[in-house]
Amino acid sequence: MAVDGTAARSAAIALLEAVLDEGQQLGQVLEAADGPLKPLSPSDKARAQRLVLTTLRHVEQADKVLKPFLRKSPPALVRHALRLGVVELAVDGGAAHGVVNAMVDVVRHGNRTGHMTGLVNAVLRKVAALEAPFAKLPPQRMPQWLRQPLVHTYGREAVSAMEAVQAMSPPLDLTAKAAAPEIAGAIALPNGSTRLPNPSQVSQLPGYAEGDWWVQDAAASLAATLLDAQPGETVLDLCAAPGGKTLQLAAAGAKVTAVDISGPRLARLHENLARTGLSATVITEDALHWQPETTFDAILLDAPCSATGTLRRHPDLPFIKDGSEIADLEALQAALIDRALGFLKPGGRLVFCTCSLLPEEGEAQLAAALARHPQLTVEPPILPGIDPAWITDQGGLRLRPDYWAEIGGMDGFFMARLRLPAAG
């Protein structure tokens, strides 16, 4: 007879193997029709997802705690079961007997790991006897390929502060269609977003079914706020999926065209448009080859990037990336900026943004764009809730995970608003 919680924990361990051993992106594994979550109940699916996310945020600490108790590295299933068990004990405060018994049960039913139940039992009982196993350990570090340039750019203290935020389970941010939603425990953020520090199932929250709001990190919402779309304006959301910014622009009364290369990712936008009652023209095309029939008053370009600003929500990324893709992304970002400018009316404005912490994908892109297009002007951001210290010398906006750290932080972003000269 299986121990209570074994199904969710087994699925979480399979997800850890997919990310840590096979280099798969967690989101894709979670959405796979034949993935580890397929046979689970909704509650077990939610539990497995929470367990794997928490463990990925604390792999480094778990390994340090386990090291004195292991003479050699055990097989993958056992290694991940131990990591998961340590994280449950140290972070979740799980009852020792329940965690130990569940992990022993997982290993007992594993392929050729049944003989290692004694090891798992002994090690986790020793860990359970420790007082606050992670208390004296620093937060998990970002990989060296990312940490080193960030330390050079922001300083060691700032990077450590970012890592502290990335180690926490992130809150849930909502962007309202009109009035801020009234949800128990919610706090109003300085930019107008609503934050739930302890989120529950999204679809059960007040206002979801009515389409009163959508999920969107507060930092991401600032890009559309910076564009400042006006009622009746023609606005292009380029690289639009999953569509939070499209919804913002439509809610402002603009006539929005949303373009993205990924049909599956645009499916979420279609769902949210239907739920919120907002409208936009949605086009599945490669922005580098698509040609609009007319020009636009304003364009929002959220360009593909390394996503290094989103590690607090996507802790799998440090384990599946090595930075080798950044040079190609930089070239793509520059090409998209140049192409987007060709879609603007004279006097039109473009907001360029990336959810990256790397200057190459932000400040350096802005500098290069200004060098290529000397007619452009940068319009510094005047936004609610923005600390003037976040505005760069060029007039861009640099956001970091450690900003608003006391209330849960934010995603890392760079954004800038550029304007073409008027005709004549």
Q: Which residues are marked as active site?
A: 355
Tell me the C-alpha distance between 361 and 353, whole Å: 9
Tell me the C-alpha distance between 120 and 122, whole Å: 6
Tell me the C-alpha distance between 214 and 414, whole Å: 22
Tell me the C-alpha distance between 209 and 230, whole Å: 27
Q: How far is CA 185 from the centre of its chain?
A: 23
Helix-strand-coil split of the chain, %, nearest 5? 45, 15, 40
- Under DSSP, is residue 418 helix (H, G, I), strand (E, B) or coil? strand
HSE-CB of 300 using CA atoms within 13 angstroms: 32
Element spanning 9, H or E: helix 6-16
CA neighbor of 26 nearest in space, from 122, 358, 338, 17: 17
Q: How far is CA 321 from the centre of its chain?
A: 14
Give the Cα-Cα-Cα angle 139, 162, 165 (nearest 5 degrees): 65
Tell me the C-alpha distance between 373 and 368, whole Å: 9
Burial of 288 (0-12, 13-18, 19+ CB in 10 A): exposed
Tell me the C-alpha distance between 404 and 411, whole Å: 10
**Phi (first) and psi of residue 173, to 5 degrees:** -105, 140
CA neighbor of 24 nearest in space, from 308, 274, 288, 321: 321
- Under DSSP, is residue 274 helix (H, G, I), strand (E, B) or coil? helix
**Phi (first) and psi of residue 142, to 5 degrees:** -70, 155
